[in-house]
Amino acid sequence: MDFRYNDEQLAMQATLQRFIERDYGFTERRALAASASGFSTAAWTQYAQLGLLALPLPQQFDGLGGGAFDVMVVMEQVGRGLLLEPYLTTVVLCAGLVADAAPPAMQQALLPQVAAAQCKLALAAYEPASRYELAQVATTATRSTAGWQLSGFKAVVLDAPSADAFIVSAREAEGDGLSLFLVPRTAAGLTVSSYPTQSGARAGDVQLAKVSVGADALIGTVGGGLAPLEKAVDVAIAALCAEALGIMSALNQATLAYLKTRKQFGVAIGAFQALQHRMADMYIAEEQARSMAIIAADRVAGADAAARRRAVAAAKAYIGQAARQVGQEAVQLHGGMGVVDELIVSHYFKRLSMIEQTFGDTDYHLARFAQAAPVP
């Protein structure tokens, strides 16, 4: 049993820390969030050079064949740096889904492009009425002579504005299983809107009006899309947990530093026991959250789907609550400085809050865990 990152992982961690310190400070990050695209294409290219984009991809497609703990290292730093680039959606979620379930020709066409920063992907799965249910899909797929025709509406598609292609879930008729399709951004009948998210990234709605794709656009089998989709989202949730962990760790560090420097009544406010105990609780929340993120990363790659579901649901539900506690307490302990835009604390807090609303919140995953948990 060993709970340490290995040397390569530590090297990656150090590289990212240096990158954030040098090229991705809070000022630069704020400017990027306010820019037209909402992220840095230069940074995206740098990620490719650092091997970040290739990291979890299979080696036969120019990937590095990394696992969930390699992604965890990266995502902790994505959290710390509040990085805005579509790493989670393109590399972890969509490329992961392609690597897992797409036909070899599509893998060959897409994955080396992703690794080389030539292609960005987004997942168009959730719909206005679906909330967090991946299976609740009204978008239709109709067979045509050339392949398929897709019609429907996908809501709050993360990183949609910058995506070169979308993975769309649809079904032939009510009661049928889900099917997954790769839809290029340029497809006729596809409309993509763009808006900023509360945490500074970009998202959009995707409307499909009789969008034609070829038979080779199918990912996985007809009607068999839910299982690989759910698995890919679980992998992304494990990564999201690591991102939340990185933010919690950064917030605790910032709050602790503030308690040691901010003086009132002639002493550093960290001398007050009421604040010490709250800070101790935040420390405990972070350590427990780390254990949960480790469990999620450990089980997400396994062959046992029930164990994966159970671990990921547990981690997301637990970290949702830990993140709320740490986020709110960090703001509180910073006093007025916690509620201003000019300090990174409020930006960490907002990102944590949005992670809770992404891919299922605490209530959703508590229910999912209860369903997956063996009784007794």
Partner 1 sequence: MDLRFTPEEEAFRTEVRAFLAAELPADIRENVLLGRRLRKDDVVRWQKILFRHGWGAGMWPTRFGGAGWSVVQQHIFDEEGAAAGAPGQLPFALRMVAPVLMTFATPAQQAYFLPRILSGQDWWCQGYSEPGAGSDLASLRTSAVRDGDHYVVNGQKTWNTLGQYADWIFCLVRTSSEGRAQQGISFLLIDMKTPGVSVRPIVMLDGEHEINDIFFADVRVPVANLVGEENKGWTYAKFLLEHERTNNAGIGNCKRELARLKQIAAGQRAGGRPLIEDQRFRDRITQVELELMALEITNLRVLSKAHREAQPAGPEVSLLKIRGSEIIQRLAELQMQALGHDALPYVREGLDAGWTPDPLLSQHFPAYAPPLSGRYFNYRKTSIYAGSNEIQKNIIAKMILGL
How far apart CA 51 and CA 74 sit, in angstroms, is 11
Give me the residues that bind partner 1 (CB under 8 A), please: 1-6, 69, 256, 259-260, 270-271, 273, 276-277, 279-281, 283-284, 287-292, 294-295, 297-298, 314, 317-318, 366, 369-370, 373, 375-376
- Say which DSSP state 94 is in: I
Nearer to partner 1, 121 or 296 (CB): 296
Nearer to partner 1, 138 or 271 (CB): 271
- What is the separation of C-alpha 209 from the centre of its chain, rounded to a whole number of angstroms? 28
Q: List the beta bridge partners of residue 202.
A: 196
- Least Cβ distance, residue 79 to partner 1 (angstroms): 18
- Least Cβ distance, residue 253 to partner 1 (angstroms): 10
- Least Cβ distance, residue 357 to partner 1 (angstroms): 19
Grouping H, G, I as helix, E, B as strand and the rest as coil, residue 84 is coil
Nearer to partner 1, 208 or 313 (CB): 313
How far apart CA 277 and CA 249 sit, in angstroms, is 17
- Least Cβ distance, residue 83 to partner 1 (angstroms): 22
Ramachandran quadrant class, 179 (left: phi over 0; alpha: psi -120 to 50; beta: rest): beta
Start-to-end Cα distance in the chain: 27
Tokens of 333: 């302990």
Nearer to partner 1, 193 or 332 (CB): 332
Nearer to partner 1, 175 or 374 (CB): 374
Nearer to partner 1, 3 or 188 (CB): 3
How far apart CA 337 and CA 332 sit, in angstroms, is 9
Contact predicate 244/352, CB 8 Å: yes
- Least Cβ distance, residue 294 to partner 1 (angstroms): 6
Nearer to partner 1, 104 or 376 (CB): 376
How far apart CA 255 and CA 331 sit, in angstroms, is 8
Q: Residue written as tokens 């889904």?
A: 97
Contact predicate 205/222, CB 8 Å: no
- Least Cβ distance, residue 361 to partner 1 (angstroms): 14
Nearer to partner 1, 178 or 313 (CB): 313
- Least Cβ distance, residue 366 to partner 1 (angstroms): 5
- Least Cβ distance, residue 365 to partner 1 (angstroms): 10
How far apart CA 179 and CA 343 sit, in angstroms, is 45
Distant-in-sequence, close-in-space partners of 89: CB < 8 Å, separation ≥ 6? 120, 121, 122, 123, 158, 159, 163, 236
